[in-house]
């Protein structure tokens, strides 16, 4: 299992980014959470197999919503992320 924390910047709020990210996560069997941040970015905690995580990261970088635009993604592996049992959109 790979546990990843991501901060996504660009046009990622107000464009359906969190909900499309959830759809992608559900398709790839990724568990975790996605939330808007006060600075306009989106934070993601994700847990899944290495192959699924690679595909998930690629989809996030490409923006899962056509009206969004990702300009930067900070990705950090974090073994301390909890073992989520589903993928949730918060705030």
pLDDT digits (tens, 9 = 90+) for 31-45: 999 999 999 999 999
pLDDT in tens, 3-56: 999 999 999 999 999 999 999 999 999 999 999 999 999 999 999 999 999 999
**Active site (annotated) includes residue 36:** yes
Domains and CATH numbers, the chain: 2-80 (3.30.70.100)
**Which one of 18, 31, 69, 91 is the catalytic residue?**
18
91 in active site: no
Name 70's bridge partners.
Answer: 10
Enumerate residues 6+ apart whose C-beta is below 8 A from 56: 24, 25, 28, 30, 46, 48
């Amino acid at each position: 299992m790979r546990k990843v924390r991501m901060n996504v910047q660009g046009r990622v709020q107000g464009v359906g980014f969190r909900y499309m990210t959830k759809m992608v996560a559900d398709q790839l069997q990724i568990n975790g959470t996605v939330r808007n941040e006060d600075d306009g970015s989106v934070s993601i905690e994700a847990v899944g197999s290495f192959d699924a995580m690679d595909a998930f990261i690629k989809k996030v970088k490409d923006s899962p919503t056509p009206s969004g635009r990702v300009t930067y993604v900070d990705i950090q592996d974090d073994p301390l992320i909890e073992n989520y049992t589903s993928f949730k959109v918060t705030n």
